[in-house]
Amino acid sequence: MLKEASKQFWERVELWSLIITGSIVWSLTMVKSGLIYSFGMGFWGANGHDAIWHIALAESLGRWSLTMPVFTGSSLQNYHIGFDLLLTLLNKITAIPVVNIYFQILPPIFAFFIGYLSYIFVLDWTRSEKASLWAVFFVYFGGSFGYLIGRGESTFWSQQAISTLINPPFALSLIFILSGLIFLQRRKLVLAAIFFGILIEVKAYAGILSLGALFVSGIYQLIKQKKFDHLLVFFGSLAISLTIYLPLNKSSVGLVVWQPFWFLETMMGLTDRVGWLKFYSAMTTYKAGHVWVKEILAYSLAFAIFWVGNMGTRILKEAEIFRWIKNLKNLSWIEVFVASVIIAGGAIPMFFLQKGTPWNTIQFFYYSLFFSAILAGVAASRIRNRLVATLIVLATIPITIFTLKDVYLPSRPPAKLDGEELSALNFLRKQPDGIVLTYPFDETKAKEAEGSPPRPLYLYASTAYVSAISSHPTFLEDEINLDITGYNWRERKSEVENWYKEKDQAKAREFLKENHIKYVYWLKGQRAFFGEGQLGLIKIFENKEVDIFMVES
């Protein structure tokens, strides 16, 4: 009895040590961003663009608006807003700024729940404490083999576990998937249907994969056990998904295009990926020349590199897959569900891309990696040799260490919002609601500024930073997300650029009125052809970097 109690105690110590360590490590990718430093507000990693978009959207939803915050006059479309609604609600309830909720509060909470729910899910499924602990380890620390060729986490295109929180909708979707699976295991079918149903508004990729896997596992359960439970959950989830997703995403199907093996070709052809240029030249030559046998062999090898390279030590999960194949008659619905997600998550990006931002469909593969981490944990739990287990741990964590060291922990970030702009945007935030006109993003100047971090956001990428920090809608910002969501932003950008050069004073003033522009936000040196007085602009703020004008009513 005492021995069993001691064993349970140390298992609890292992579990909470692993979850706390994993949560801290994951949170390091987020918590430094959004804080004020000597150079201004800093943004590490992808936070210089993606985070600012979510903050802008949450601020817009906080105005109880379903319009596009960076493309005024248009309704929000083709985007899952579940996470952003959560940000808004937490801001309204607590009065904590959205920026701090996004960077400092939600990351450790999400990290904790992903680890804990992974543990519960695997324990309910396998009844093995060891498998559950190993699964949690791989969930937190699983990484690619990019370090073996001196490259980073996305050498083989996919982000790895360490960057989970950089994509908060993805992180939240994992919480929903795990919750749905746990409720399904415990036969709480209504709760399972609710979690799986809402999932598509949290992360569309997760909703598609989970609904598909639910359907396949439901058919399997019907054939094997003559039960309809999972099909009922599927249809309930589908009904919820369609109800909440279709109103904002009616044209989303047109955003996906057929483009087989784009990821394999670019993985081989880009020097910031694998960059095996001779192989890239050979495979594409075989394809163009219809040399079928060599083409099939070349693309098969490229896929093997993609698969093994991204999996890293999670490739251990193949041992578990082989066990399943040997015992096909004894497969459980969970194994069918997990296999369906892994297969579909790997297959979809191999054949389909997203218009505007083609690499977005790699996010399907994130779910393949997540469930592969869980299966790798189950497979690793069968290892009895401590030396082998230690080597697996040591071979798993390098990408996590290198990514933190190179991307998220340097003292100076790649992007910043300096104090003068922050002061100007905070002033604008206190003004009555109104549409803000900014200067169009200049890609040429942004490229010229590369190599001198931290770059100000206006020279970093086309972002939503004016809308995000001022909490006002902007006439045109964040061309990247406008591309992703399918807006005709290029036409509007042309209109704005022409307005800045407009030599007809009446037309220039009419443009501001027709588009209901209330504020004009200019950095020093940014001006239109006509002077402010000629355009009917009244200066309401000025500092060393920024001028803000209000349009005369």
> What is the number of helices (H) and of strands (E) in the chain?
25, 10
pLDDT of residue 251: 62
pLDDT tens-digit series, residues 119-151: 999 999 999 999 999 999 999 999 999 999 988
- Locate the DSSP E strands across 394-487: 415-417, 435-438, 455-456
* Cβ partners under 8 Å of residue 59, min gap 6: 69, 88, 98, 467, 468, 471
pLDDT of residue 345: 97
Question: What Å distances lie between residue 328 and 213, 319, 323, CA to CA?
Answer: 17, 14, 9
**Closest to 229 (Cα-Cα) out of 195, 177, 183, 179:** 183
What pLDDT was estimated at residue 510? 96
- DSSP code per residue over 216-266: HHHHHHHHHH---HHHHHHHHHHHHHHHHHGGG-TTGGGGEEE-TTHHHHH
pLDDT value, residue 3: 66
Q: What integer pLDDT is reported at residue 65 of this predicted model? A: 87
DSSP conformation class of 503: -
Helix pair 363-380, 106-126: axis angle to 10 deg: 50
The dihedral sign for the CA sequence 159, 163, 167, 170: positive
The label of the residue with tokens 């309401």 reads 540
- For residue 292, the model assigns a pLDDT of 94
* Whole-number pLDDT of residue 19: 97
Q: Amino acid identity of 218? A: G
> What's the confidence (pLDDT) of residue 287?
94
What residues in the chain have per-residue pLDDT under 50?
Answer: none
Within 10 angstroms of residue 429's Cβ, the number of other Cβ atoms is 12
